[in-house]
Chain A
Amino acid sequence: MNFAFLHKYASLMHFYRLSHTLTPWLAAATLALFAWGLVGGLLLAPTDYQQGDSFRIMYVHVPAAWMSMFVYVTMAVAGGVALIWKLKLAEIVSRACAPLGASFTFLALVTGSIWGKPMWGTWWVWDARLTSELILLFLYLGVIALHGALDDRRAGARAGAVLALIGVVNIPIIHFSVEWWSTLHQGATVSKFSKPSIHIDMLIPLLVMISAFQCYFAWSLLVRVRSEILDYDRNASWVRELGRAQEAGR
């Protein structure tokens, strides 16, 4: 299969136009999936006999945690592409992923903590998964800090890409270490968030919510990327054309 048609979209102008075509569809899909997932998760899924209705927090916590990992890998891959092929678009995508990923991580942490309070009585436990998530938040904040610390935005994006790649190699190591550390200090081998089996009626809304979050990520990433494109290419003729159109439309 010939992928040459994709090369066109590495051009900032074409990507900008593509993003405007795609975002209404992504927005619609996101809202539809959220509607489906929320009805399923909040209304239709049966109440858990152990945790009562508090288990419904799972429908935001788990997708957020999943996205926090997914976005980091996306950020690292885009960063790698930016470093190897020196594509401006890859730099912008990598840069845009950071605040989004940090938001998901923060959400996962807070909802995880809130979910834990009625279950274990404390706002925080040094559970392997929560602790790994906390470390991931610091990794994101580091990348964001590095993006902002360099005056040249392009160099900042590339420096962040190196850090993201170092981080992505480290993440499995960190996960393994924290997993190991938590069993060491707790003794118990059952993770607090483990679910030995999940009822299908509870699982389907979860999968729908994860899809909703993925769609949302695509949507918000495109919106974020296209506003950066305007700054990156601000002297290009197509951008100036946009400026003229905007001016004429006032």
Chain B
Amino acid sequence: MTPATIIAAVVRRELLRAVRNQAEALYPLLFFALCVLMFPFALGTDSALLSKVAAGVVWVAALLASALSLEALFRADYADGTLEVLVVGGASLPLLGLGKAAAHWLLSGLPVLVLAIPLGLSLELQPALLGTLLATLALGSVCMSLIGAAISALTVGLRGGGLLLAMLILPLYIPVLIFGASATANAALGLPVAGELYFLAGLLVLALTLTPWATAAALRIRMS
């Protein structure tokens, strides 16, 4: 089997599981929307204020939704023993990690991208900035899924669960957050954002090359 078919098989399995548990698959999106909607309640509905914070709020909400939806990534396989079989049986763990990250992005990152449009606009985000926001979110969310798969593998089944995972992963998300949010802020000032986008792309490439090995190491340690 080629690496691509292995990854596709992993992704297909995750998508099938999502189809069977549709309610659970929607949780990240509902959480994302709720998170964003908290802010007008907290800050008031002054248009000027909201439009200033819109991109940042969408970014933080996307980040939190990604972090909290990661716990489920390996949980089911861990619970029913599939994970142990895969590790002991010699499956390619880096490819498994990539497949899980890809599935996480499809089920959580991509829908968040789509939802970011109406939610961002509801926060008075200037429509002209949507392009930048979505571009940064697209690059950043893939990074987050990749890093997330490694940390999720590291913490699967532990006491403290999702919050432990979130606590471990949020500091690692900070560079993505800084460049993603500030790109939109710069775009609002009419400044070029190519630098930020290149940096995010660079982080993405780094994550793509390094995180599968971290995920593999994490799985081996946890399943030994």
Contacts and interface: CB of A to CB of B under 8 A. Distances in A.
> Do chains A and B make direct contact within the complex (CB under 8 angstroms)?
yes
Contacts of A150: 158
Contacts, number: 74
A191 to B, nearest CB: 17
Main secondary structure of the interface of B (DSSP, over half): helix
Given A142-B167, A163-B168, A149 B174 contact: no
Contact of A145 (B167, B185, B206): B167
A162 B203 contact: no
Contacts of A170: 171-172, 175
A162 B155 contact: no
Interface string B154-188: 11001110001001101110110011001001000
Interface residues of B, number: 29
Interface in A138-167: 138-139, 141-142, 145-146, 149-150, 155, 158-159, 162-163, 165-167
Given A149-B155, A158-B221, A180 B178 contact: yes
B167 A139 contact: no
A155 B178 contact: no
A181 B218 contact: no
A71 B178 CA distance: 26
A177 interface: yes
Nearest to A138: B171
Given A83-B217, A149-B159, A163-B168, A177 B222 contact: no
A119 interface: no
B148 to A, nearest CB: 12
Interface string A181-211: 1001000000000000000000000000000
Contacts of B185: 184
A243 B206 CA distance: 50
Nearest to A155: B221
A169 B217 contact: no
A173 interface: yes
Contact of B178 (A83, A146, A159, A181): A181
